[in-house]
């Protein structure tokens, strides 16, 4: 069942009344109406098209998923497309796609009504109604107040996710200079996933900045002098989020570059070990090769020969091992 | 034979009449004419030059292939150059050039006529006529309506191709962390081809954005208040496509960088195996070298010597193999 | 206890009087008041909210840490968010986070009052009061003079830290072409830390530039003709710092790229040594292998054979060693 | 001898008359004069300085080579500096500098005269006179017509060279995934040379775009309504060339990155071969080592021993070779 | 002793008179004065502060080194900060800091006086006075003439250094595809030094462009119609230098990337040699291993065995060496 609210003269007058009653209120100049469709069913959209005189292209965008965040101006109403985000935690399978969940919303703003169309149930609309109730003293500002409460909740979801991504980047950084193979791979995969999430978040937040900026710039009756600082605050939060996202992207790019040099270190280390072991192995080979000669070397066929060769092998191996250890080659 | 249409007072009056009849309609203020040349033959262009008073430079661009997407203003008419795209599927030969097919169109827009010149037959003009028939109620907007239907179909072709490229990028991503040689090479080649297609698509879509933006900005009678939201919708779709293309380019660039680090992993792994096998091989060499010495070691010339040497070889090899396995070096 | 100052007619009239007395002065047109809260306690903020009529959103930003540097305009007052920085020296643990310490300040500027809210005690406010006393002859410019003194001290902190970072970059550069393993790693880790500090400093300095630029552009009574060159000087210093930061970032990026090529040099060098030692080791193996054959080679079972084989081994090893040395392969 | 032309009332009146006669025509309002100096000799420049009242700084730039493409406005005349380009084909010596040849021109444009100063003989002025003759019907547009013909020829030279560079990039692309050493090096060197040519061409074309844009923007009598579409066409061609150049630069950059990953493939392949051969070589070493022991293994000193050892060697080598082949390691 | 000049009515009236006499001339409307301080001593600056009414912040910048190139407007005078550059040649020690020497100048421009403050003696002021004498006919343009002569000399110093850097880049390019170790390292180090010089030069030239652009834009009496083309010429030279610097930076970046691929070539080459030598060494090892077995192989204990084994060793080594040579593996 669609959620509804009716504000009259800046007071919450009714809640969750049937959507069909809306036609009684839309002509009342003192009334402000909210209607939430999640997801829109049957003839819901046709109903609001007629009731509020919405443009057919705006309704199309409200139905088709994957719109970019934007603000469209139609004669009598605005159409807002945006995304709330959520982070369901680290995926169990590290090969799974990025963990960022984006919930698309379509919003119609008329002179005295706010219609929210949630394309999926992921975004919790109760947080928005709670925010409206907290700020009840601004309710007299009309539909702009409802829009502010909604935008504020959406932008808060960006902060939550950005903080979680920041933690993931910090965790990556702690593992960065560890040269074990598993850590190098963990950094690679996780960096890739974080980078993907950051790319997606960025594409949600950046155009949102433009949307709010447009609301601020145009002298619409929607945002009056009382609400202006509140919308500016939302804009400021969007700037803050986008700066954090850019900062995290820089960090991840830096870490991936560092990862390359650390792989280089590891390869250098392994090459040195190969060299060292090759030299150590050469000692018994050369010595036993010598004593295997069919020529009368000192100790040929005698116990003294055995002792000498064994001693040379032992001393050679031990000395080389000690030298390489000291040179930090082994 | 050229395709033609005649709209009169917002109604489709005639279809596929001979091109020679056009001179009868162009002077009628209530008539809107469409003429399609694919490809222009013989004196087709000379005919429209005279009939519609087109500029010689515009006609030159309509003939020569490889124009950039653009909108040129000549006194009495507009000249539009653009590309529809198509994806003929993955090429059989992976070394073949990028799979993106671009079909160039030249369009003349006069006060009451739309002339489309298709430089190749690749673009299906039936989709455009079908779109016009769907939107028949907008036909009274005149030549702007015809232009909108055409642009809408062209931009739809961008979405189709972008979706296909998105699938190819997803497929690449699934193979990304596989360290087998064939997968690494497949990712490289396919990334290269996808990147090339994205580069080409970008060069088609980005200037198209400017073209439609220019149509929106200038208060021409072409785009009146009724058509304005429809042209804005086309512009919005172009923004969406160009964002997706940029997003895919970022993904491909990220994957190519990741590919480099994965090659590094692979090299590290191989180096470790070389080291391990060198150590394992050294065991029998050293032991049989010892027992081949011509000195009276314990068991010289006796069965006990054979058993001892065989036991040492076996134990040494097994122990080393087990140690390297545990250290994940083998 | 909060710090306070009262200027009257351009003279310092009182210092460190109780905050509660402020209400006596704010209505006096000849008085300019400074109040410092560090950190704000209990009802400090509620008190200034009432006394100075500050906006609730500005007060929120003054409490919550992590604001971006910005200048917000509220009807009767300005809200400034900024950061002073400090460098506590090289960290003991090289894996520790970047060494740059940022101290956040919130500043309210009314017609005749400057209220500084320090979110941590790290920034030494005594430097600001000392600066005000040095420039006492500008005190008659009112609250703009107080703001200038504060900004000047904050921007000086950027210079100090930038100089320290410049020293760290110089130290890195000296180690750059050293191919020892420890130097390569030291360069990597330190570059990473310096880059992180530079990224943070940049995010503090760049928006600060915009803040001061905004103070210069708007013809506010805050910055009159006398103070204008002083604020321009602060702006110039911010340009200088941001150029130095960009220059250092370029240097670090260049050094990290150079580091990659130096790792490549090192790997090449090691590979050549492996090749050389493999060749040298092959000499005794081949010679003693030959003399271990059960066939009557010249000297079989005779002293002459021993001498010959020993001579060949010795000569072979020495000649190869000398050749590789000359070719700079060893 | 300098080339000359005289147009009177839109008709070619005289050609190749002595430069000294020019003073007779410059004061005639119906005359348009062209003078070409290649290269300027003796007092040529002093003569035109006096005759046309040219500025001393413009004359300096007309003499000194290496000017950037630009349009300078002097009170009574324009000074244009530009470059025609040519591609003399692939250099014989692949280490030779980039093959792009740039021919610098200095052009003075007065009210009724065009003076071209070619700093080298490389640019064929006959193509310009031929173009003028083709467009004879535009000759009545005055000196702007002469300038258009010149610019059109110069921009055509950019197309020719860009096409040649496109062919070279295509040739590079065909060799890209070939992993043989010679192809990898050929791609590297040729990429480097193509990139250098593209860099040079870009620095010639991009500022030229600004030059023509400036001619279009300013309402000078030079470019009247008849010539406007022609100059716009030149501008459009410059946009097209610069887009192609940027596209080729992207391709070359992409190929150089791909080249790096292909080198990595090659190194991986070689490392696998080293590992495989080391294992195969180990088989006879181990077997003959065993049979060389001075202990009574089965077959010691008997034919059965020889056959057994030979069989083990043969089987071991063949099996390993077959296994490595199947695993694609060899 | 400070250098001085007095121009009266466009003629050089006095030279090198005592600085103390300046107060006699500054009030004379027909007089233009030049004063050079290098470096400013004792109360020099206090004297000019009083005599010319200079702002205290401008004087501070004239004393403190490390100002960025800039133009500050103070009510009655301009303050210009800039750098002349010089190239003292290739450093003896390749590890030494970049060879670019920058000489900082502070310049005050009043209505009728030019005061140059050289912070070091590196910049040769005689070149400026010589330039003034060359252009004596412009002297009647007043203080703008003096400023032009100075700027022209400074910008000439940029050309000289850019040419020297161009030579160094050309020298680098010649060594680029040489794969010897010493050349690779030389390219690396020299590239690093050149890049550093280019970065420094860029930071000197780019803001200078803005400085001259500002002089051109503002309709100050400093640059009248006669001087305008001369200042535009300086601006043009600055554009040319900055383009060359950017071009050289591109070249160096390209070369450093190429260097990485060349290192890769070298590593591939070495790996192939390792493989080849390992195979060659395996031949005598395997053969002598076989003939060292204590089993009755054909030729056991007989001369025929010796000859056979020697022949196999010789043939095997020669054949492998020849095969590897042909395959270009050795
Ligand atoms: Mg968007
Ligand atoms: Mg966007
Ligand atoms: Mg920002
Ligand atoms: Mg950060
Ligand atoms: Mg970074
Ligand atoms: Mg990079
Ligand atoms: Mg284009
Ligand atoms: Mg374009
Ligand atoms: Mg967009
Ligand atoms: Mg994506
Ligand atoms: Mg990316
Ligand atoms: Mg990148
Ligand atoms: Mg910000
Ligand atoms: Mg910022
Ligand atoms: Mg700057
Ligand atoms: Mg630097
Ligand atoms: Mg750099
Ligand atoms: Mg230029
Ligand atoms: Mg350039
Ligand atoms: Mg340019
Ligand atoms: Mg373009
Ligand atoms: Mg391309
Ligand atoms: Mg690319
Ligand atoms: Mg890259
Ligand atoms: Mg600067
Ligand atoms: Mg800079
Ligand atoms: Mg600057
Ligand atoms: Mg330029
Ligand atoms: Mg160049
Ligand atoms: Mg480059
Ligand atoms: Mg790079």
pLDDT confidence of residue C145: 96
Among A180, A270, A304, the residue to mutate for chain B (most B Cβ within 10 A):
A270
The residue in chain B having the minimum alpha-carbon distance to the alpha carbon of residue D234 is B57
Closest CA to A259 of C192, D231, D33, E317: C192
H helix or E strand, kind and range, residue B326: helix B303-326
pLDDT confidence of residue D177: 81
pLDDT confidence of residue A94: 46
What does the pLDDT profile of chain B (330 residues) look like in tens digits? 789 999 999 899 999 999 888 888 888 888 999 999 988 887 888 888 888 999 999 999 999 999 999 999 998 899 999 999 987 665 444 444 457 899 999 999 999 999 999 988 889 999 999 999 999 999 999 999 999 999 999 999 999 999 999 999 999 988 888 777 777 888 888 899 999 999 999 999 999 999 999 999 877 789 989 999 999 999 999 999 999 999 999 999 888 888 877 887 777 777 777 767 777 777 777 778 877 888 787 888 888 888 888 888 888 888 878 887 777 666
pLDDT confidence of residue B96: 47
Of C240, C260, C289, the CB nearest to E68: C240
Among C191, C192, C272, the residue to mutate for chain A (most A Cβ within 10 A):
C192
Chain A, window 95-134: residues with a beta carbon less than 8 angstroms from a chain C beta carbon: none
- Decide which of E132 and C293 is more confident: E132
Summarize pLDDT for E55-96 with one digit per residue, the tens: 999 999 999 999 999 999 998 899 999 999 987 665 444 444
Q: C–E: how many Cβ contacts below 8 A? A: 124
The residue in chain A having the minimum alpha-carbon distance to the alpha carbon of residue B277 is A274
pLDDT confidence of residue C96: 47
Asked if B270 and D268 come within 8 Å (Cβ–Cβ), the reply is yes
pLDDT confidence of residue C91: 47
Count the alpha carbons within 13 Å of E42 in the hemisphere toward its beta carbon.
Answer: 4
| Dihedral over alpha carbons C215, E71, C198, C183 (to 10 degrees) | -170
Helices (H), chain D: 22-25, 44-52, 56-63, 126-134, 143-175, 181-217, 228-291, 303-326
Chain A, window 203-262: residues with a beta carbon less than 8 angstroms from a chain B beta carbon: 203, 256, 259-260
Q: Specify the pTM.
A: 0.85
pLDDT confidence of residue E98: 58
pLDDT confidence of residue C88: 67
What does the pLDDT profile of chain E (330 residues) look like in tens digits? 789 999 999 899 999 999 888 888 888 888 999 999 988 887 888 888 888 999 999 999 999 999 999 999 998 899 999 999 987 665 444 444 457 899 999 999 999 999 999 988 889 999 999 999 999 999 999 999 999 999 999 999 999 999 999 999 999 988 888 777 777 888 888 899 999 999 999 999 999 999 999 999 877 789 989 999 999 999 999 999 999 999 999 999 888 888 877 887 777 777 777 777 777 777 788 788 888 888 888 888 888 888 888 888 888 888 888 887 887 666
Summarize pLDDT for B237-287 with one digit per residue, the tens: 999 999 999 999 999 988 888 887 788 777 777 777 776 777 777 777 777
Asked if C279 and E277 come within 8 Å (Cβ–Cβ), the reply is yes
C-alpha–C-alpha distance, residues C141 and E89, integer Å? 53
Contact C213, C223 (CB under 8 A): no
Q: Which of A183-197, D128-142, D275-289 has the lowest mean pLDDT?
A: D275-289
Summarize pLDDT for D29-83 with one digit per residue, the tens: 889 999 999 888 878 888 888 889 999 999 999 999 999 999 999 988 999 999 9
Asked if C291 and A286 come within 8 Å (Cβ–Cβ), the reply is no
- Decide which of E247 and C297 is more confident: E247
Q: What is residue D140's DSSP assignment?
A: G
Starting at the edge strand that comes first in sequence, how are the strands of the sheet with E70-74 ordered? Answer: E11-15, E3-8, E31-37, E113-118, E101-109, E77-86, E70-74
pLDDT confidence of residue E157: 95
pLDDT confidence of residue A5: 96
**Angle at Cα C151 formed by Cα C146 and Cα C154, nearest 5°?**
130
Asked if B263 and D262 come within 8 Å (Cβ–Cβ), the reply is no
What ipTM, to 2 d.p.?
A: 0.83
C-alpha–C-alpha distance, residues B66 and B43, integer Å? 22
H helix or E strand, kind and range, residue B307: helix B303-326
Write out chain E residues lying below 8 Å of C233, CB-based.
57
In this prediction, residue A210 has a pLDDT band, given cuts at 50, 70 and 90, of very high
C-alpha–C-alpha distance, residues B94 and A180, integer Å? 36
Q: Which of B25-34, C240-249, D206-215 has the lowest mean pLDDT?
A: B25-34
pLDDT confidence of residue C98: 59
Q: Is the dihedral of CA D223, D228, D233, D236 positive or negative?
A: positive
A251 phi, psi to nearest 5 deg: -60, -45
Q: Does A65 touch chain C (CB under 8 A)?
A: no
Which chains neighbour A (Cβ–Cβ under 8 Å, 3 or more pairs)?
A: B, C
- Exposed, middle or buried by CB within 10 Å (0-12, 13-18, 19+), for B218? exposed
Closest CA to C215 of C232, C237, C239, C238: C232
Average pLDDT, whole number, for chain D? 87
Summarize pLDDT for A280-310 with one digit per residue, the tens: 767 777 777 877 888 787 877 788 887 888 8
Among C293, C301, C305, C309, the residue to mutate for chain E (most E Cβ within 10 A):
C293
Closest CA to E85 of E104, E101, E69, E98: E101
Summarize pLDDT for C95-110 with one digit per residue, the tens: 444 578 999 999 999 9
Closest CA to E49 of A2, E57, D117: E57
């Amino acid at each position: 069942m669609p959620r509804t609210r009716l504000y009259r003269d800046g007071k919450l007058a009714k809640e969750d009344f049937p959507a069909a009653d809306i036609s009684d209120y839309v002509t009342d100049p003192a009334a402000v109406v909210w209607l939430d469709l999640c997801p829109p069913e049957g003839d819901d959209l046709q109903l609001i098209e007629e009731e509020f005189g919405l443009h057919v292209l705006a309704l199309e965008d409200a139905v088709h998923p994957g719109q970019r965040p934007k603000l469209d101006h139609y004669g009598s109403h605005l159409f807002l497309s945006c995304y709330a985000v959520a982070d369901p935690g680290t995926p169990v399978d590290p090969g799974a796609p990025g963990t960022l969940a984006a919930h698309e919303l379509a919003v119609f703003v008329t002179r005295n009504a706010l219609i929210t169309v949630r394309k999926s149930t992921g975004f919790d609309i109760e947080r928005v109604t709670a925010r409206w109730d907290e700020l009840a003293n601004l309710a007299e500002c009309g539909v702009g107040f409802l829009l502010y409460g909604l935008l504020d909740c959406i932008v808060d979801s960006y902060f939550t996710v950005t903080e979680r991504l920041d933690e993931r980047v910090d965790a990556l950084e702690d593992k960065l200079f560890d040269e074990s193979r598993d850590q190098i791979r963990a950094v690679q995969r996780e960096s890739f996933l974080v980078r993907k999430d950051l790319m997606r978040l960025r594409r949600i937040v950046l155009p949102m900045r433009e949307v709010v900026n447009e609301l601020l710039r145009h002298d619409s009756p929607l945002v009056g002098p009382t609400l202006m600082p509140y919308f500016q605050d939302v804009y400021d939060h969007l700037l803050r989020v986008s700066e954090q996202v850019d900062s995290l992207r820089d960090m991840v790019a830096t870490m991936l570059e560092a990862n390359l040099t650390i792989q280089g270190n590891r390869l250098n280390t392994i090459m040195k070990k190969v060299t060292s072991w090759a030299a150590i192995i050469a000692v018994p080979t050369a010595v036993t090769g010598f004593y295997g000669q069919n020529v009368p070397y000192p100790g040929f066929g005698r116990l003294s020969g055995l002792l000498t060769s064994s001693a040379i092998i032992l001393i050679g191996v031990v000395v080389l091992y000690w030298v390489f250890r000291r040179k930090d080659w082994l």
